[in-house]
Chains A and B, each alone.
Chain A
Amino acid sequence: MRSKYFQYTSWLMALLLLMASCKEEPYAVPVPKDALQNDCIKRSLGPNIVGNNIEFAYAMALPGDKGKLVSAQVEASIAGAATTYLEHRSYYTDGSGVDVGVEVATPSTNQGNVTTVNFSKDTNAVTLRYFYTIPEEARGKTISFKFSARSSNGETVNYSMGPYTIARMDIALDIPVMDAANCFISIEDMKAYDAVDAAAHAANIDLVYLYRAMPNVAFNHSLVSPGTKSEYLPGVVLPPGVNKVTKISKAWALRDNNLARDKYGIYIDDIDFQQLDIANAPDYAINLKEEAGAWIETADGKYRAYIYINKVNNGAQSAVISMKRYTMK
């Protein structure tokens, strides 16, 4: 008798479970909030480098019958560089995939660490982009942002973003180098000099760029330290005092997005330089190809850098390089 009760109960439970699991949730159209609201995303990726922008998209809206947007502002914990701005246009993407701006406010103004726009068109929903140009004062620090919007009915909303760490490293893009011309590279100055200027900056020259087309050997585009063996500096006349021994380690498939520009999703950050160990690296790197790179450590250990080869030109015996540099001391 008891087992029969168990059996019935089990069947009933199973039936109930089946019914519950098959029950369909009816869809309900979400009810919009009856007030001013906002949202924000960070659009830029990778390390935050001094001189580059951090980009955000700040969205704000309120129901049409409640009023219109009056102003929007961003308060940064450290004032941005002069080129910091909040867009006064709202963008939509047309049929060709092009972003088209519609002016909805007067151009933004910066006062201290606050960037403001005042709406000039009747607008009750908009997304504005914010471009914060990282100032020198923010190097190595963390920074955060407070976005806020105000509507004509007196409501205000705000949205906090961050904190974000600002990288300590520097970046220099598209430095042209040419064999027997501007071929003397300074990591400290992040520049390439010709022989005359190199003589004037002899203490800062860390590398020599040269191109050699040899019959049996792949020498080609090379970065060589001025203090290396003469066999790796064939036909190079060094300016007086240019004799540093720099450590160089070749890299391949390390196409940093900041240096290669939107080609690849790899970023070199401060931590890569901090953990870099090229103590046993040689003082030359020959046969470098386009999109290759080289890790560098200066003779005094003050700087570590990554040099990326953007372009090479065998005919002109030249290349275009970009670099990220981290100060160790």
Chain B
Amino acid sequence: MRRYLYLTALLLCCAFAWISCSKDDFPVDEDGLLITTRAECYVSDFQLLGSDFQTVLTAKKPVIDTTACTIHAEVQYGTDLKNVYPQFSLVTDAKLDPKITGKVDFSDLANPRSYTVVSGNRQVRKTYTVHISIQQ
């Protein structure tokens, strides 16, 4: 009887150890982000902050065209466009390429900057162009 108990306990220990050591099988991308099944790929909101981390956009809401993949935003008169922080709100599980790691120079209005949205399943990529205009 005691031997049976001993063997059962040993078996349980082994099973527990095996379960605890098994590797999760969820796929992640090169950034360590979860790859999901979502194929949606769009920008839902856009914001631009100045060096004081306050918005530099005017009262006009940015116009985001998810078909043409464009963003049109108007900044306040006198905005220092060489030192701004763009903020993109994306659909669930999507990510942005290139990543925004600090201040960005948006001062070259003739050559708008582009950012690519990558869907949650990492299969769909859409490149958005950000057009900035200055309040007059």
Contact = CB atoms under 8 A, between A and B. Distances in A.
Interface stretch (B3-11, B35-43, B78-86, B115-123): B78-86
Interface in B84-114: 103, 105
B78 A251 contact: no
Interface stretch (B17-25, B26-34, B49-57, B60-68): B49-57
Nearest to A251: B52
Given A216-B136, A280-B83, A286 B50 contact: no
Nearest to B51: A249
A251 B82 CA distance: 15
A17 B54 CA distance: 60
B54 A252 contact: yes
A282 B54 CA distance: 16
A280 B80 CA distance: 10
Nearest to A254: B52
11 contacts: A217-B78, A218-B76, A249-B51, A250-B51, A250-B54, A252-B54, A280-B105, A281-B83, A282-B82, A282-B83, A292-B52
A287 B135 CA distance: 14
A219 B78 contact: yes
A286 B52 contact: no
A286 to B, nearest CB: 4
A130 interface: no
B82 A280 contact: yes
Interface string A173-189: 00000000000000000
A292 B53 CA distance: 12
Interface of A: 216-219, 232, 249-253, 280-282, 284, 286-287, 292
Given A280-B83, A281-B83, A282-B82, A287 B136 contact: no
Please list the 6 inter-chain residue pairs (A to B) with the smallest Cβ-Cβ separation, ordered nearest first.
A252-B52, A217-B77, A250-B52, A286-B78, A282-B80, A249-B51
Contacts, number: 42
A316 to B, nearest CB: 23
Q: Is the interface of B mostly helix, strand, loop or mixed?
A: loop
Nearest to B80: A282
A284 B81 CA distance: 13
Contact of A250 (B50, B82, B135): B50
A286 B52 CA distance: 12
B81 to A, nearest CB: 9
A289 to B, nearest CB: 9
Contacts of A282: 80, 82-83
B35 to A, nearest CB: 37
A282 B80 CA distance: 6
Given A217-B135, A249-B83, A284 B78 contact: yes
A286 B135 CA distance: 14
Contacts of B103: 280
Contacts of B83: 249, 280-282
Given A250-B52, A280-B103, A281-B83, 11 more contacts: A216-B136, A217-B77, A217-B78, A218-B76, A249-B80, A251-B51, A252-B52, A252-B53, A282-B82, A284-B78, A286-B77
A86 B55 CA distance: 50
A91 B51 CA distance: 46
A251 B51 CA distance: 7
Contacts of B50: 250
A251 B54 CA distance: 9
